[in-house]
Amino acid sequence: MKIYDSRLKETVEFEPLEEGKVKMYVCGPTVYDKAHLGHGRSAVSFDVVRRYFEYKYGEENVIFVSNYTDIDDKMINRAKEEGISVEELADKVIPIYERDYEALGVKKPNFQPKATKHVKEIIELIKDLEKGGFTYVLEDGVYYDVSKFPDYGKLSGQKLEDLKMGARIDVNDKKKNPYDFVLWKFKKEGEPAWESPWGEGRPGWHIECSAMTWKVFGEKFDIHGGGLDLKFPHHECEIAQSCGAFGKDSFAKYWMHNGFIQVNNEKMSKSLGNFFTLEDIFAKYDPQVVRFMFLQTHYRNPINFSDQLLEQAKAGLERIHGFVRRLEDYNSVSEMDPLRIEFGNEVNKSMDNDFDTSGALGTIFTVMNSINPLLDDRSVNFDKEFVLDQLKRLDNFFGFIYPREKFEISDDIESLISQREEARESKDFKKSDEIRDELLKRGIVLEDTANGTIWKKA
């Protein structure tokens, strides 16, 4: 099968390090705020890649790892704003991601490490880099000296001398090069900190992924994925750290990046007011429609999000579900030999071509168009079980062919949730329990965490 390696910038034959086994790592979110559309797209893109590998090689032969960044500047600032600890913030936000990803049909990773639980490995890795002469210490932290790693910039196709300062690169006049990045930040007043050989502090953002892949996979693994926005500087820094510590040929063999989401042709941002959380969208559309919408476009292409796009996705998905229902209800009156319509291989061919879900869906719509007239004309006997069986198999990675239980959160339910919050706050537990039971009847389970209540599908 072919895979587009975004480091080589070409489509190559996928040959895992160990035949028939796949080890992949995808950068997870920084859990300081709710999941938005961009998180959803990345999660669904790599969920399909993972599930397709599982479908081909067997579930037991695929290891999928994705982390939670639960310590960084954004976490610290938000926790301060909310008057809670960084840990409490993570405990509040992680269940929201879990709920939204589950709603999108995203399978839980085999491992889901948190940065704060791997400080030991992070420190060990920085010690290795220090031994190799890649680091220097300034008054605010330990830095990576990028000039010691000549391949820096290769992934994102930039020359060291042309590199501009990118996102999340701190401006620090004392750095040897502007693109040097922090590995260990020294403690500031009121910040969470861990002991280290360089003094109390906390890990920089990039080092955690290098440490966690090392911890789970060792020095090499097959695929590293993430959103295109992470290619520079985050992934560039991960390579500099891991290959700095373990040698040139270590770390990921292939790199995959999913495309951006724009909203009405503009970058999605809070300041432009075109920012959507998954929760916002699930209030109007079934999460399965959202999954389908993402997969209509090849994972590497940009998606220009709009209500119209969701409406189209909704209509497309209804056609598929309608087709499945009609098939299930179909009874032929003919006694001729059953006609077998094979299309699974055609779908696999698209998927084998760098996970072309868009092409794969094209095949499904073509098949629907050719079978629908047969469903009208019951005098033709075609093998419906054969078609249903293929659809079921393909749904192992598509995850939208068979409808999931309808799931909508209506205004009514939202208002019940907030009424219950109020009841709890005023210690009216009888009323609070009544509302909880009422919600359960409507398929919503509430989970009370130390930092408030979140809802989940029953």
- The residue (of 75 and 209) whose beta carbon lies closer to Zn ion is 209
Please answer whether residues 202 and 188 qualify as being in contact, where contact means their C-beta atoms are separated by less than 8 angstroms. no
- The residue (of 209 and 371) whose beta carbon lies closer to Zn ion is 209
CB of 122 to Zn ion, least distance (A): 13
- The residue (of 79 and 209) whose beta carbon lies closer to Zn ion is 209
- State how far the alpha carbon of 66 is from the alpha carbons of 51, 215, 255, 371, in Å: 14, 13, 15, 40
The shares of helix, strand and coil residues in the chain, as percent rounded to the nearest 5, are 45, 20, 35
- State how far the alpha carbon of 28 is from the alpha carbons of 101, 115, 325, 418, in Å: 12, 11, 37, 30
**Which one of residues 3, 37, 209, 374 is an interface residue with Zn ion (CB under 5 A)?**
209
Please answer whether residues 40 and 260 qualify as being in contact, where contact means their C-beta atoms are separated by less than 8 angstroms. no
CB of 107 to Zn ion, least distance (A): 20
Task: Say which DSSP state 357 is in.
Answer: H
Listed ranges 70-78, 203-211, 302-310, 444-452: which one lies at the site for Zn ion (CB under 5 A): 203-211
Which of 305, 316, 396 minimizes the C-alpha distance to 348? Answer: 396
Listed ranges 19-27, 242-250, 255-263, 325-333: which one lies at the site for Zn ion (CB under 5 A): 19-27
Listed ranges 26-34, 145-153, 170-178, 381-389: which one lies at the site for Zn ion (CB under 5 A): 26-34
- The residue (of 49 and 281) whose beta carbon lies closer to Zn ion is 49
What is d(CA 70, CA 82) in angstroms, rounded to the nearest whole number? Answer: 16
Phi and psi at 449, nearest 5°, equal: -105, 175
CB of 28 to Zn ion, least distance (A): 8
- The residue (of 67 and 196) whose beta carbon lies closer to Zn ion is 67
How many helices (H) and strands (E) the chain has is answered by 14, 15
CB of 111 to Zn ion, least distance (A): 14
Listed ranges 25-33, 134-142, 249-257, 295-303: which one lies at the site for Zn ion (CB under 5 A): 25-33
What is d(CA 301, CA 261) in angstroms, rounded to the nearest whole number? Answer: 9
Handedness of CA 93, 95, 98, 99 (dihedral sign): negative
Number of residues engaging Zn ion in binding (CB under 5 A): 2
Listed ranges 72-80, 128-136, 139-147, 207-215: which one lies at the site for Zn ion (CB under 5 A): 207-215
- The residue (of 119 and 209) whose beta carbon lies closer to Zn ion is 209
Taking CB under 5 A as the criterion, which residues in 142-171 touch Zn ion? Answer: none
CB of 43 to Zn ion, least distance (A): 14
What is d(CA 211, CA 209) in angstroms, rounded to the nearest whole number? Answer: 5
Which of 207, 209, 191, 208 minimizes the C-alpha distance to 199? Answer: 191
Listed ranges 57-65, 154-162, 209-217, 281-289: which one lies at the site for Zn ion (CB under 5 A): 209-217
CB of 209 to Zn ion, least distance (A): 3
Listed ranges 21-29, 148-156, 289-297, 425-433: which one lies at the site for Zn ion (CB under 5 A): 21-29
CB of 421 to Zn ion, least distance (A): 35
- The residue (of 65 and 209) whose beta carbon lies closer to Zn ion is 209
- State how far the alpha carbon of 137 is from the alpha carbons of 143, 180, 197, 349, 372, in Å: 6, 12, 12, 52, 69
- The residue (of 229 and 428) whose beta carbon lies closer to Zn ion is 229
- The residue (of 49 and 209) whose beta carbon lies closer to Zn ion is 209
CB of 302 to Zn ion, least distance (A): 21
What is d(CA 256, CA 196) in angstroms, rounded to the nearest whole number? Answer: 34
Angle between helices 236-246 and 119-131 (to 10 degrees): 70
Residue owning tokens 């209030």: 283
Taking the CB of residue 9, how many other CB atoms lie within 10 A of it? Answer: 10
CB of 358 to Zn ion, least distance (A): 27
CB of 238 to Zn ion, least distance (A): 6
Give residue 235's identity as a one-letter amino acid code. Answer: H
- The residue (of 30 and 196) whose beta carbon lies closer to Zn ion is 30
Q: Does 27 bind Zn ion (CB under 5 A)?
A: yes
Note the residues at the interface with Zn ion (CB under 5 A): 27, 209
